[in-house]
Amino acid sequence: MCEPATIGAVAGVGSALAGYQAEAAGVSYRNKAKLKNFERQNVQYLTDAMLDNAQYKQDQLREDREQDQIYRNMINQWRANDRELDKIFAKGSFKMEQAIREMHQNDYAGTQTGATAARLAAKSTKEMGFKKAEYVHEMLMAEKTKVDSDDRARDKAQWDSWDMYEKVRYAPIHGHAPVAPLLEAKPSPLGAIFGAVGSAAGAFGGDSGSSGGSGG
């Protein structure tokens, strides 16, 4: 039959080992949970970074296409301005040629001679001068309008180009990668061993004292 001291020692050792195993299992569970969460954070971080980089490349390609379109729009506007100016100049040249013909027709005084003929000729020349000055002014103003329109088209292209560039000027910044968790240290089995030894020693010591007292 087992002595009470032996039973107490065994129970103490079992309790100490059970406590150690429970503590070790708790630490292991919590560490695994931390590592699993860290793994999920890493996967999410890498996924987000990959998607951001892919989107940035797409934005760069779109910016390149739109830059080309901005340049083409400016060139098309310049060409349209040139065509419009050519029309105005052609029309002005035609008006001046027509005015010259009218002047020559009016210069013909018929049977008029002397001062009358001279007066008619001077009048035609004066009218021709006024018309020519008017047509030249119209063409000069048209040319100035064309230059101003070209400048506005160029300025708009520059601003649009810069605005488009600003959208892709900087590559995406992904921030800091997840930090590895601080894991808990596993409990030392020595503590359980010392605890078990202490429990056993206490049990045997107590039993010996009881036995000695009974013998006296």
* pLDDT tens digit sequence for 120-157: 556 566 677 777 788 888 888 999 999 999 999 999 99
Work out the average pLDDT over 190-194: 64
Asked if residue 92 belongs to a domain, the reply is yes
Q: How far apart are CA 18 and CA 10, in angstroms?
A: 12
Does 155 reside within a domain? yes
Tally the domains of the chain: 1
Looking at the domain assignment, is residue 174 inside a domain?
no
- Could you list the residue range(s) of the whole structural domain that residue 164 is in? 4-168
User: With bands split at pLDDT 50, 70 and 90, how would you rate the model's confidence at 181?
Assistant: very high
Residues 6 or more apart whose CB falls under 8 angstroms from that of 172 comprise 49, 52, 53, 55, 56
Whether 187 maps to a domain, the answer reads no
pLDDT in tens, 8-20: 555 556 676 777 7
- What is the pTM assigned to this prediction? 0.58
- Please say if the pLDDT value at position 115 is more than 90: no
- Alpha-carbon dihedral sign for residues 65, 71, 75, 81: positive
In a domain, 127, yes or no: yes
Structure tokens at 188: 């030392």
- 198 falls within a domain: no
In the block, tokens 């065509």 appear at 83
